[in-house]
Amino acid sequence: MIELSFMMQYLKKPRATGAVLPSSRYLANKMIMDIDFKRAKCIVEYGPGTGVFTEKILENRNSETTVILFEYNEKFYNLLKYKFKNEDNLFIVHDSCENIERYLNKYNVEDIDYIISGLPFASLPKSTSINILEETKQLLNQSNGRFITFQYTLLKVKFLKHYFKDIKVKREFRNIPPAYVLSCINK
């Protein structure tokens, strides 16, 4: 059912959805691999879609960790609100992550330790990608903040290096299509 809903959203808005199917659990595990859940006070997720990465984050976080999700797609936003309605310290925002600072102020968040992204940077307008990455770099914890995203090609690595000097790349073949996880350190 979720796969069909995801596919319909892709057909309606391919540039915003970016994939035909939700990410696999294997990709989700690789996406959270570099998160120090004991230390993390705030984790933000851009474009959670159906919540595959969100589930892993919520399973592993400590109870004090604040999690903020930014979902622009109304169908996915409503799904996430229903799916995670009983979670404490979870805020689900129906807006572009370009407006992240407004919500950090609203929820009294001063420091972000990790930003996990399911955004399709390869298909987003360049100006949107620039706005998001500038905000991301500025708002991440300056000493050890990490931005973790995945892409289906390595075409955007050079673009990301304008914002993050250190990028670790891992490949996950057990996803449709196979994907690269890019773990970017804010130094």
Residue-wise DSSP of 43-104: EEEE--TTTHHHHHHHHHS-TT-EEEEE---HHHHHHHHHHTTT-TTEEEE-S-GGGHHHHH
**pLDDT score for 15:** 44
Alpha-carbon distance 140 to 42, whole Å?
A: 10
Residue found under tokens 């805020």: 91
User: Among the CATH numbers 3.40.30.10, 3.40.1280.10, 3.40.50.300, 3.40.50.150, which is that of 24-185?
Assistant: 3.40.50.150
**Where do the structural domains in the chain lie, given as residue ranges?**
24-185
Helix, strand, or coil here: 24?
coil
Which residues, at least 6 apart from 19, have a Cβ–Cβ distance to it below 8 Å? 6, 10, 120, 152
Token code pair at residue 87 = 């979670």
**Do 19 and 2 touch, CB atoms closer than 8 A?**
no
Going across the sheet that includes 146-151, the strands are: 90-93, 66-70, 42-46, 114-117, 146-151, 179-185, 166-172
Return per-residue pLDDT of the chain as tens, 187 residues.
444 444 444 344 544 444 546 789 999 999 999 999 999 999 999 999 999 999 999 999 999 999 999 999 999 999 999 999 999 999 999 999 999 999 999 999 999 999 999 998 888 899 999 999 999 999 998 778 999 999 999 999 999 999 998 999 999 999 999 999 999 997 6
Rounded to 5 degrees, φ, ψ at 183 are: -105, 110
Looking at residue 94, its amino acid is H
Q: For position 21, what pLDDT does the model report? A: 65
- Alpha carbon of 147 to those of 20, 24, 108, 142: distances in Å? 24, 20, 21, 12
